[in-house]
Homo-oligomer: A and B are copies of this chain.
Amino acid sequence: MAATKSPVVDIHTHVYPPSYIELLKSRDKIPYIRSFPPSSALRLVILPAEDTESTSRGRPVGAEYYDISKKVEFMDRHSIDISVISLANPWLDWVPAADAAEAARGINDEVNEECGKYPGRLFAFATLPLSGGKNVIEKEISRLKSLKHMRGIILGTTGLGKGLDDPDLLPIFRALQDAKLPIFLHPHYGLPSSVWGERANDYGHVLPLALGFPMETTIAITRMILAGVFEKVPELEMILAHSGGTLPFLAGRIESCIEHDAHLKAEGKLGKGRKTVWEILKKNIYLDAVVYSEVGLNAAIQASGKDRIMFGTDHPFFPPLEGENETWASVETNYEAIFGSLGSGTEESLAALGGNAVRVLNLVV
């Protein structure tokens, strides 16, 4: 199915290009891909909490992880016209500094080439060589212009190692702003495992995935807001994974706490001229629609705007547990939330399903 006038666009969908799979297979600590005898099946382990005997230890690595034709099959099965693919976490955070430039170039080139195999159907968010230092990062940002299918970059929450409120990131943010490359902010590290308590292993991966991920995103973007990043880099565009983590729900509380913080005011850290959280939500932030409920999606829409919501699937994660399912429940849940919140076939739902992404990310070949 070619892109139509009202295409469905999936902006939250991950790939493990073959060279990244090889990189992960070559490792003996997290993140890694390996088999756990007696089984010979390969499994991907990306979080420490997943790497204990008492859990199912990561997840099976099937062809949908690395074979781009499986991505397109998945798209066809779920009526998705265009996907903006991104390398899955933890990206290249752990690559030695000396190897960072080459790793990022190789993977970005490979992802760009894979997009080229399905003209008009695949675009991508690039991966930055964060461990390589400022010059290496800026050079790769500059090089991305030459990659036809790149429409932004995916970024975790650690930045250069100190989080996204690190002043040393400001030149990087400015370079992305100037290159008109939005940041797709995505969690990976979650929260320190002590918060899950002694029984965490009884609950499978639920706590780190369901709570740790969105809380990590919320903390990262709030630290950026408090550091004044959006005053200093006023045109920076961020697309927040999982509908902003919990930012739409907490925006009011964050605003109230900022207003009531005598220390913040006395120091003039965020002076009279600061942008409010609400202003940032409507000016600098876009939200994906990967929130699995009308309740969450309504909050995301009300916080950011109907013109700032973008459909996503989180493929290849959350696959059907029963092998016979024709479509994935995780995808259907997010479709249903959009239809429930915005109606079926309405201008608003078409915008959320794809129109917003096409406009913001310029998804034309």
Main secondary structure of the interface of A (DSSP, over half): helix
Within the complex, which residue of B192, B214, B223, B330 is in contact with A207, where a contact is CB–CB below 8 Å?
B223
Q: Does A28 contact B (CB under 8 A)?
A: no
In the bound complex, what is the Cα–Cα distance between A269 and B200 (angstroms)? 12
- Residue from A191, A206, A269, A291 with most neighbouring chain B CB atoms (10 Å): A206
**A192 touches which of B192, B266, B296 (Cβ 8 Å):** B192
Shortest beta-carbon distance from A311 to chain B in Å: 15
Let me know if B321 and A163 touch, CB within 8 A: no
What band does the interface of chain A fall in when counting residues whose beta carbon is under 8 Å from B?
Answer: 35 or more
> Binary interface profile of A, 42-83, with partner B (CB < 8 Å = 1, else 0)?
000000000000011000000000000000000000000000
Q: Which residues of B contact A243 (CB under 8 A)?
A: 249
* Selected interface stretch from A91-99, A122-130, A171-179, A252-260: A252-260
Q: Closest approach, in angstroms, between the C-beta of A198 and any C-beta of chain B? A: 6
Q: A162-B198, A222-B211, A223-B199 are in contact. Are A295 and B256 (CB under 8 A)?
A: no
The chain B residue with its CB closest to the CB of A198 is B162
Cβ contact of A262, chosen from B56, B202, B266, cutoff 8 A: B56
Please determine whether A260 and B330 come into contact, CB atoms closer than 8 angstroms.
yes
CB neighbours (8 Å) of A253 from chain B are: 210, 214, 242, 291-293, 296
Residues of B within 8 A of A56 (CB): 262-263, 266
**Residue of B226, B252, B259 touching A295 (CB-CB under 8 A):** B252
Identify A294's interface contact among B162, B218, B259, B302, CB under 8 A. Answer: B302
Cβ of A118 within 8 Å of any chain B Cβ, yes or no, is no
Interface string of A233-259 (1 = CB under 8 A from B): 000000000110010111111111111
Residues in A lying within 8 Å of B, measured CB to CB: 55-56, 162-163, 165, 191-192, 194-199, 202-207, 209-211, 214-216, 218-219, 222-223, 226-227, 242-243, 246, 248-267, 269, 291-296, 298-299, 302-303, 318-319, 321, 329-330, 333, 337
